[in-house]
């Protein structure tokens, strides 16, 4: 039995035994699990290291990072504090603790973390980015501007800094500087929807509605199903009296986000304005399901019920509002009219008397407690002035952050690159996709499943699911069971393959590869072993490249690149063998195409994707990746055609890529 297997089974051993584990190896496996988003499993590995060597800072930091990704913000903060106590010179520990504190709205302590981290790494753009956003949350706009000025000096082409400084300038009423920064952001990154949305909102605030519509239209062209952009463009169109266009935008926004409060409220007002009363009532009914105490929605529904002949319903709504706002004169006026229509003349006279008395109080200089409508043609969502009931709603300050930048460093910095569809794997678990329902089939794999020689049914997927804690325990136990089977039948390749899958699922790649080697020695025709080994080689290289900062673009004479090229060659060799043994296994061509693309051998990648599509004309992932390769080769027309097909087959992100490259057609 391998030594690392003993380490893995140490999960279930007493603490005295845990002290003997190879902490470095277990840390490596834990970081593998973390990198591949197996957060629950990674925590188990870091727990082992902490139990064995509690004086180390590293396992606390990585456990904190895993907890952050599981939204356990208090736990993440506590672990990062433990890491900092053991080693106060780790920048990332302050970064992750800062993010954890931000998620708990503890901006003051988050600022303290970023200031400490910046003493250690004064040119870290992510730290300056988050520090400035925290200052903005604390409404300390003077210091936020100073931080952003520093960030722009350090990284003059950092688009997010200009977007944030635009926001700060607006808070400081410096619209001239805000427009300069918004223009600069667009100049630097024309394919970023946030830059266009930011300037569009600036035009909207300055009542330059045609310009706002133009910029928001460009943001919509570049963005993927962003309801907020349609809501904002609808407002720009409404203010240009383009009611049909505004209505269309609200319809699209609510198709994307059916629970959008502002979308339903404003569409209800718009429908009422064009006489579509019954459907306007539906919108206000929906608003009141979300916010039963929203008196403006109640009053608007009352007006619509009145117009459609539901007088008692209207009276009920008016009464609800007047119970809450007894000085709202318009409510008494409308209720009086509705009461007369139902024959309640006494009630109508009482309402008329209240209105008359309030008017006399005003004439005689006595305050009636009334408020008047504001001069603006819109109102904030939080506005409670009932006299503004006919006005379109806009988001409160700080609520509409659709176009603003996000905090950096949640796991890794947000990757704005266009990425290919991932490699396919043979595994037992698949993440469910609510949008795309795809069944990947291979007759050879189906035949293997029908033999019932593996503990679970084998799936083909490039959307692998992380293990739950219970599943992880099951696979650790299965390693033990498969080891016993190997002892009984040492020449059975399937036993080694089954244990390799267990090791793979618990992210122990070294032992998984060793078992696959043994399986191939015992049955050199068993193609799944080659396919799985190729994938594990690839994942090991991806982890190394990210962890150590390897760059494939380095000059080929570089020693590290020669090593990496050799490593990728090992992957190709295994996939070549899969294709030799099973020429119809489409996923081997696809994976090999991905490897060629990583190495920038785009012609070879095209050949493999072509073969994959020839074998399966509905292979969406192959169309998507072939589309990207064609674009990289400058064949935009063919690339867009492939991406369109991928979108048709269910990869909807393809449409966003099409938008970004159509302009260069």
CA distances from 501 to 459, 517, 540, 562, 585 (A): 12, 13, 15, 30, 19
- Asked if the model's pLDDT at residue 214 lies above 70, the reply is yes
432 with 292, same domain: the answer is no
Select from 303, 332, 361 the last residue of a domain: 332
CATH number at residue 37: 1.25.40.10
322 with 459, same domain: the answer is no
25 with 149, same domain: the answer is yes
Provide the mean pLDDT of the chain.
Answer: 88
Distance CA 550, CA 541 (A): 10
DSSP assignment of 532-575, as one string? HHHHHHHHHHHHHHHHHT--TTS-TTSHHHHHHHHHHHHHHHHH
Asked whether 455 and 474 are in contact (CB, 8 A), the reply is no
Q: Domain for residue 275, yes or no?
A: yes
DSSP 466: P
DSSP 430: B
Select from 332, 349, 382 the last residue of a domain: 332
- Asked if the model's pLDDT at residue 12 lies above 60, the reply is no
Select from 311, 332, 353 the last residue of a domain: 332
325 with 438, same domain: the answer is no
- Residue-wise burial string across 364-398, b where 16 or more C-beta atoms lie within 10 A, e elsewhere: eeeeeebeeeeeeebbbbebebbbbbbbbbbbeee
Residue closest to 114 by CA, chosen among 81, 99, 103, 104: 99
Question: End-to-end distance of the chain based on CA atoms, in angstroms?
Answer: 59
* pLDDT category of residue 649 using cuts at 50, 70 and 90: confident
* pLDDT category of residue 566 using cuts at 50, 70 and 90: low
* pLDDT category of residue 656 using cuts at 50, 70 and 90: confident
For residue 403, the model assigns a pLDDT of 45
* pLDDT category of residue 359 using cuts at 50, 70 and 90: confident
Asked whether 443 and 477 are in contact (CB, 8 A), the reply is no
55 with 190, same domain: the answer is yes
Non-local (6+) Cβ contacts of 137 within 8 A are 102, 105, 107
Asked whether 500 and 529 are in contact (CB, 8 A), the reply is yes
For residue 61, the model assigns a pLDDT of 96
* pLDDT category of residue 648 using cuts at 50, 70 and 90: confident
Residue closest to 427 by CA, chosen among 526, 528, 511: 528
Q: Domain for residue 608, yes or no?
A: yes
Average pLDDT over every residue of 181-210: 93
Distance CA 256, CA 254 (A): 5
432 with 319, same domain: the answer is no
Average pLDDT over every residue of 38-45: 92
Residue closest to 412 by CA, chosen among 31, 72, 149: 31
38 with 177, same domain: the answer is yes
Distance CA 7, CA 611 (A): 43
Lowest mean pLDDT among 12-16, 29-33, 218-222: 12-16
- Asked if the model's pLDDT at residue 546 lies above 80, the reply is no
* Three-class DSSP labels, 603-639: HHHHHHHHHHHHHCCCCHHHHHHHHHHHHHCCCHHHH
Domain that holds residue 78: 3-332
Residue 270: what are its φ and ψ, rounded to 5°? Answer: -70, -40
For residue 652, the model assigns a pLDDT of 77
For residue 13, the model assigns a pLDDT of 35
Residue closest to 412 by CA, chosen among 65, 30, 89: 65
For residue 261, the model assigns a pLDDT of 92
Asked whether 98 and 110 are in contact (CB, 8 A), the reply is yes
Which tops the pLDDT comparison, 78 or 367? 78
Tell me: the pLDDT tens digits for 229-253?
Answer: 999 999 999 999 999 999 999 999 9
* pLDDT category of residue 418 using cuts at 50, 70 and 90: confident
Strand locations in 358-498, DSSP E? Answer: 378-380, 392-394, 425-427, 459-461
Helix, coil or strand: residue 12: helix
Record the tokens describing residue 278, joined without a space.
């019954």
Q: Domain for residue 496, yes or no?
A: no
* pLDDT category of residue 544 using cuts at 50, 70 and 90: confident
CB atoms within 10 A of CB 547: 12
Which tops the pLDDT comparison, 414 or 602? 602
For residue 408, the model assigns a pLDDT of 63
Q: Domain for residue 83, yes or no?
A: yes
Average pLDDT over every residue of 490-518: 96
Residue closest to 280 by CA, chosen among 252, 253, 308: 308
94 with 221, same domain: the answer is yes
For residue 576, the model assigns a pLDDT of 97
Lowest mean pLDDT among 1-5, 85-89, 166-170, 629-633: 1-5
304 with 449, same domain: the answer is no
Among residues of the chain, what percentage have pLDDT more than 90?
Answer: 74
Q: How does strand 392-394 pair with strand 378-380? A: parallel
- Asked if the model's pLDDT at residue 110 lies above 60, the reply is yes
Question: How many structural domains are present in the chain?
Answer: 2
450 with 320, same domain: the answer is no
DSSP assignment of 57-118, as one string? SHHHHHHHHHHHHTT-HHHHHHHHHHHHHH-TT-HHHHHHHHHHHHHTT-HHHHHHHHHHHH
Distance CA 295, CA 301 (A): 10
Average pLDDT over every residue of 491-498: 96
Q: Domain for residue 386, yes or no?
A: no
For residue 515, the model assigns a pLDDT of 97
Record the tokens describing residue 106, joined without a space.
């503890």
- Asked if the model's pLDDT at residue 555 lies above 50, the reply is no
For residue 4, the model assigns a pLDDT of 31
Distance CA 512, CA 502 (A): 8
For residue 427, the model assigns a pLDDT of 97
- Asked if the model's pLDDT at residue 525 lies above 50, the reply is yes
* pLDDT category of residue 281 using cuts at 50, 70 and 90: very high
Largest CA distance in the chain: 105
- Asked if the model's pLDDT at residue 407 lies above 90, the reply is no
- Asked if the model's pLDDT at residue 33 lies above 90, the reply is yes
Q: Domain for residue 621, yes or no?
A: yes
For residue 368, the model assigns a pLDDT of 53
* pLDDT category of residue 409 using cuts at 50, 70 and 90: low
| Residue 104 C-beta-side C-alpha neighbours within 13 Å | 18
> Which neighbouring-strand residues pair with 392?
378
- Asked if the model's pLDDT at residue 58 lies above 50, the reply is yes
* pLDDT category of residue 626 using cuts at 50, 70 and 90: very high
Distance CA 576, CA 589 (A): 9
Q: Domain for residue 23, yes or no?
A: yes
- Using only C-alpha atoms, the chain has a radius of gyration, in whole angstroms, of 31
Q: How does strand 425-427 pair with strand 459-461? A: antiparallel
- Asked if the model's pLDDT at residue 364 lies above 90, the reply is no
Q: Note the Cα 180 to chain centre separation in Å.
A: 30
Helix, coil or strand: residue 149: helix
Tell me: the pLDDT tens digits for 139-190?
Answer: 999 999 999 999 999 999 999 999 999 999 999 999 999 999 999 999 999 9
Tell me: the pLDDT tens digits for 427-473?
Answer: 999 988 755 667 899 999 999 999 999 999 999 999 999 998 899 99
For residue 594, the model assigns a pLDDT of 96
- Asked if the model's pLDDT at residue 82 lies above 50, the reply is yes
Distance CA 196, CA 635 (A): 27
- Asked if the model's pLDDT at residue 651 lies above 70, the reply is yes
User: Which residue's structure tokens are 């303290």?
Assistant: 112
* pLDDT category of residue 372 using cuts at 50, 70 and 90: low
Helix, coil or strand: residue 452: coil
Among residues of the chain, what percentage have pLDDT more than 70?
Answer: 87
Residue 492: what are its φ and ψ, rounded to 5°? Answer: -90, 110
Tell me: the pLDDT tens digits for 473-492?
Answer: 999 999 999 999 999 999 99
* pLDDT category of residue 5 using cuts at 50, 70 and 90: very low
Q: Domain for residue 472, yes or no?
A: no
Asked whether 459 and 429 are in contact (CB, 8 A), the reply is yes
Record the tokens describing residue 165, joined without a space.
């400084």
């Amino acid at each position: 039995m391998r030594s690392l297997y003993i380490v893995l089974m140490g999960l279930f051993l007493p603490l005295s035994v845990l002290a003997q584990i190879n902490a470095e190896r277990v840390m490596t496996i834990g970081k593998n699990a973390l990198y591949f988003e197996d957060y629950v499993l990674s925590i188990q590995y870091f727990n082992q290291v902490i139990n064995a060597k509690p004086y180390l800072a590293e396992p606390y930091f990585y456990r904190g990072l895993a907890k952050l990704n599981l939204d356990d913000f208090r736990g993440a903060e506590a672990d990062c504090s433990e890491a900092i106590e053991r080693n106060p010179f780790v920048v990332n520990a302050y970064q992750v603790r800062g993010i954890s504190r931000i998620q708990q709205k503890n901006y003051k302590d988050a600022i303290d973390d970023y200031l400490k981290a910046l003493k250690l790494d004064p040119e870290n753009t992510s730290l300056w980015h988050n520090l400035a956003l925290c200052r903005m949350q604390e409404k300390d706009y003077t210091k936020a501007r100073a931080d952003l000025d520093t960030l722009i000096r350090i990284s003059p082409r950092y688009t997010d800094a200009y977007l944030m400084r635009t926001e700060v300038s607006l808070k400081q009423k410096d619209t001239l500087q805000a427009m300069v920064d918004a223009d600069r952001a667009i100049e630097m990154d024309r394919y970023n929807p946030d830059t266009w949305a930011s300037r569009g909102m600036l035009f909207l605030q300055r009542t330059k509605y045609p310009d706002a519509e133009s910029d928001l239209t460009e943001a919509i062209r570049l963005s993927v199903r962003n309801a907020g952009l349609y809501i904002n463009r609808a407002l720009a169109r409404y203010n240009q009296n383009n009611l049909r266009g505004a209505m269309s935008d609200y319809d699209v926004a609510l198709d994307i986000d059916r629970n959008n409060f502002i979308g339903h409220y404003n569409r209800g007002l718009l429908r009422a304005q064009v006489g579509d009363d019954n459907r306007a009532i539906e919108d206000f009914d929906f608003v009141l399901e979300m916010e039963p105490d929203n008196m403006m929605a109640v009053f608007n529904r009352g007006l619509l019920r009145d117009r459609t002949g539901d007088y008692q319903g209207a009276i009920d709504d008016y009464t609800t509002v007047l119970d809450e706002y007894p000085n709202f004169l318009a409510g008494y006026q409308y209720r009086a009219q509705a009461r007369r229509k139902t024959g309640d003349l006494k009630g109508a006279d009482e309402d008329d008397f209240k209105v008359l008395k309030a008017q006399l109080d005003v004439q005689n200089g006595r305050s009636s407690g009334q408020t008047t409508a504001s001069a603006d043609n819109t109102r904030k969502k939080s506005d409670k002035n009932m006299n503004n009931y006919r006005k379109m709603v806009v988001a409160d300050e700080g609520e509409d952050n659709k176009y603003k930048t996000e905090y950096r460093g949640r796991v890794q910095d947000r990757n704005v690159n266009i990425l290919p569809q991932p490699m396919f794997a043979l595994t037992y678990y698949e993440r469910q996709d609510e949008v795309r329902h795809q069944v990947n089939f291979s007759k050879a794999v189906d035949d293997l499943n029908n033999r019932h020689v593996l503990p679970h049914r084998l799936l083909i997927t490039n959307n692998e699911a992380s293990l739950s804690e219970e599943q992880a325990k099951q696979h650790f136990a299965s390693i033990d069971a498969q080891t016993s089977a190997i002892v009984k039948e040492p020449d059975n390749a399937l036993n080694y393959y089954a244990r390799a899958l267990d090791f793979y699922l618990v992210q122990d790649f070294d032992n998984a590869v060793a078992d696959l080697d043994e399986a191939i020695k015992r049955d050199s025709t068993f193609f799944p072993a080659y396919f799985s080994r190729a994938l594990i080689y690839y994942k090991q290289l991806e982890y190394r490249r990210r962890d150590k900062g390897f760059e494939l673009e380095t000059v080929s004479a570089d020693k590290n690149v020669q090593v990496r090229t050799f490593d990728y060659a090992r992957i190709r060799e295994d996939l070549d063998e899969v294709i030799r043994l099973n020429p119809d296994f489409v996923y081997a061509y696809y994976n090999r195409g991905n490897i060629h693309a990583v190495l920038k051998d785009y012609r070879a990648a095209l050949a493999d994707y072509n073969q994959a599509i020839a074998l399966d004309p509905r292979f969406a992932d192959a169309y998507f990746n072939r589309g990207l390769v064609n674009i990289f080769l400058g064949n935009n027309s063919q690339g867009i055609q492939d991406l369109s097909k991928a979108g048709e087959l269910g990869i909807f992100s393809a449409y966003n890529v099409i938008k970004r490259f159509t302009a260069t057609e």
